[in-house]
Each structure stands twice: as structure tokens, then as C-alpha cells.
């Protein structure tokens, strides 16, 4: 998301900025996991969503495991599932389901009052939780330009959801008021210190830390250890993009933290990712 802002800035002067941003993000996420293996999985899972004009072989050894993982929508009512799959980013809906399920496997999710997400992109996790009736209090922490994207997108998707826009003059008292009155809050990284430490929360970072400088990653690990009990991390094993210096992989990032490791594993889909669940020692 961080390097996407370089491209988003090029279309800032568009007559319809929001639609241009959404078109850009749509293209990015659509192409992101477009290998033949991934397309075959998506086609078999959702034949009504994906064209079957090109029949690809599904002989991958993990094929059945992938399907089982991606179909783990048992608790989602049929009408909500239908709405979720009609979304223009179906692979993101699949991954969001798998990510939330992984968290539930490792912690008592019902005892968590709030999710703090670092670098939320356009807001796919809070959108997924809202559409499937699992929404909790949600705090999105990102740089202001990126906050605008997720804030605008979520407001458009859920006009009746109480959302507190980014506040430059945030402090502890203002946070408590906004947290009480709203479902989703938007905050800058420097404002993490104002989050109420009595809140039972989990921090999550999905495919974003590898695009940050080492000192920024260390800052997040340190600051969040005082306000969040758990930290869910998912990122590529060996990330690369042509717009940036060499990026940090999952193992590199894990070596920078001083939390207790509850679990970590390779992700089946997409197979070049790993995920882990950490517990704060503070």
C-alpha cells in the first residue's frame, strides 16, 4: 500500500478521484494473485464468479487443502456469503476469511474488544467483518494519505456505520470519546500512544511491514506491545517490487520483535506467504 501511493498520486487531479483510486486498487489486487494455480482454485471455489472458458489443471498436492481452507465459511449465513462473493475483489474475501479463522484458532476471539490494524490498505478486513456480522471496534493506523483511501472506501460501503475520521489533535481524552461513540477510528502511527491500555485488543499487519524501514517496524512492535495483547502478522517470505529497495521477508520481520511467539506457519494460499501470532510480554 505504501508504494501504491506513488501511483495514486499521479491520478490525484482526476475529475472523479474516488473512482480513479478504486479502479487502481481493483487492478492491483486483481493482478496480485493471478497465477494459473490461484485462478484454478478460485474458479473451482466460485464457478459463478469466474469464467471457466480456460480449464486449468488442478493437480497441485495442496489443492484439496486449499479448497478446504478457502471454503471455511460455515458460520457465514448464505445471504451474507452471497454479498461477500459479489464483491469486486473475491480473492481478498477469501484471504480475509482465512486470516480471521487463523486468529480464531489461536486466541479466544470473543474476548477481544478491538482490532488495531497497521496499514489496512482499502479496508478489506473491517469490510469482511462487517459483512459477515463479526465487526468489533476497529482502529486503522496508517499514514494520512493512505488513511484517506480506507476511510473513504469504508464510508462508501457502510454509510450508516459510525466512523471517526482522522484527527490531527488526538489525545487520550479525545480517543476515549471517539472510541466510545464510533465503530471504526482512523489514527496516525504517532497516535498509538493514546490508545486506552485497558482495552482488550489484537494488532494485525497484513503484507505491509515489509515495505517499511526497519526502524518503523521496530516502532510498531514496541508501541503496540503496550496497548495490544496479541499481534497477528502475515507477509511474503521473499517480497519484491520494482519501485523499492530490497524488502524484508517474514523471517526478517519476525527476528525484529521481542514478543512471545504463539504460532507461525507457511500459508497454503497464496503459497509464498507466512503468518504468525505473537503475544505481548508487557
DSSP character string of 185-233: EEE-GGGGGGS-TTS-EEEEEES-GGGS-HHHHHHHHHHHHHH-SEEEE
* Residue 84 CA neighbour count, 13 Å, CB half: 26
pTM for this model (two decimals): 0.71
Report pLDDT for 62: 38
Tell me phi and psi for residue 61, to 5 degrees: -60, -30
Report pLDDT for 35: 46
Q: Say if 51 falls within a structural domain.
A: no
Domains identified in the chain, total number: 1
Report pLDDT for 144: 77
Q: Say if 67 falls within a structural domain.
A: no
The CATH number of the domain where 79 resides is what? 3.40.50.150
According to DSSP, the β-strands at 273-279 and 230-236 are antiparallel
Report pLDDT for 148: 84
Q: Say if 99 falls within a structural domain.
A: yes
Question: What are the E-state strand segments in the chain?
Answer: 114-118, 137-141, 163-164, 184-187, 201-206, 230-236, 260-266, 273-279
Q: Say if 78 falls within a structural domain.
A: yes
* β-pair partners for 48: none
d(CA 22, CA 111): 34
Q: Say if 38 falls within a structural domain.
A: no
Mean pLDDT, each 10-residue run in order, the chain (282 residues): 37 43 41 46 49 35 38 42 50 83 93 95 90 89 85 89 92 96 95 95 94 90 96 91 75 94 89 94 92
Q: Say if 93 falls within a structural domain.
A: yes
Which residue range forms the structural domain that includes residue 205?
Answer: 4-32+72-279
Q: Say if 65 falls within a structural domain.
A: no
Q: Say if 49 falls within a structural domain.
A: no
Which residues contact residue 60 at a Cβ distance below 8 angstroms, ignoring those fewer than 6 apart?
Answer: 37, 66
Using left for φ > 0, alpha for ψ between -120 and 50, and beta otherwise, residue 179 falls in alpha
Amino acid at each position: 500500500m505504501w508504494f501504491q501511493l506513488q501511483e495514486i498520486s499521479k491520478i490525484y487531479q482526476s475529475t472523479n478521484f474516488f473512482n480513479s483510486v478504486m479502479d487502481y486498487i481493483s487492478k492491483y489486487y486483481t493482478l496480485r494473485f493471478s497465477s494459473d494455480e490461484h485462478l484454478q482454485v478460485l474458479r473451482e471455489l466460485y464457478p459463478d464468479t469466474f469464467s471457466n472458458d480456460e480449464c486449468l489443471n488442478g493437480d497441485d498436492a495442496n489443492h484439496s487443502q486449499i479448497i478446504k481452507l478457502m471454503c471455511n465459511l460455515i458460520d457465514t449465513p448464505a445471504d451474507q456469503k452471497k454479498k461477500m462473493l459479489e464483491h469486486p475483489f473475491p480473492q481478498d474475501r477469501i484471504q480475509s476469511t482465512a486470516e480471521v479463522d487463523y486468529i480464531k484458532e489461536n486466541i479466544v476471539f470473543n474476548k477481544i474488544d478491538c482490532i488495531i490494524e497497521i496499514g489496512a490498505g482499502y479496508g478489506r478486513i473491517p469490510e469482511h467483518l462487517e459483512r459477515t456480522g463479526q465487526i468489533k471496534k476497529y482502529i486503522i493506523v496508517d499514514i494520512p494519505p493512505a488513511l484517506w483511501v480506507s476511510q473513504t472506501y469504508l464510508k462508501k460501503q457502510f454509510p450508516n456505520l459510525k466512523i471517526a475520521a482522522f484527527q490531527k489533535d488526538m489525545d487520550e481524552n479525545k480517543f476515549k470519546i471517539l472510541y466510545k461513540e464510533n465503530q471504526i477510528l482512523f489514527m496516525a502511527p504517532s497516535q498509538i500512544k493514546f490508545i486506552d491500555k485497558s482495552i482488550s485488543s489484537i494488532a494485525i499487519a497484513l503484507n505491509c511491514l515489509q515495505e517499511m524501514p526497519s526502524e518503523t517496524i521496530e516502532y510498531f512492535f514496541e508501541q503496540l506491545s503496550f496497548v495490544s495483547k496479541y499481534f497477528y502478522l502475515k507477509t511474503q517470505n521473499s517480497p519484491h517490487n520494482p519501485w523499492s529497495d530490497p524488502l524484508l521477508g517474514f523471517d526478517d520481520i519476525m527476528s525484529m520483535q521481542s514478543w512471545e511467539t504463539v504460532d507461525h506457519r507457511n500459508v497454503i494460499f497464496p503459497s509464498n506467504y507466512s503468518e504468525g501470532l505473537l503475544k505481548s510480554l508487557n
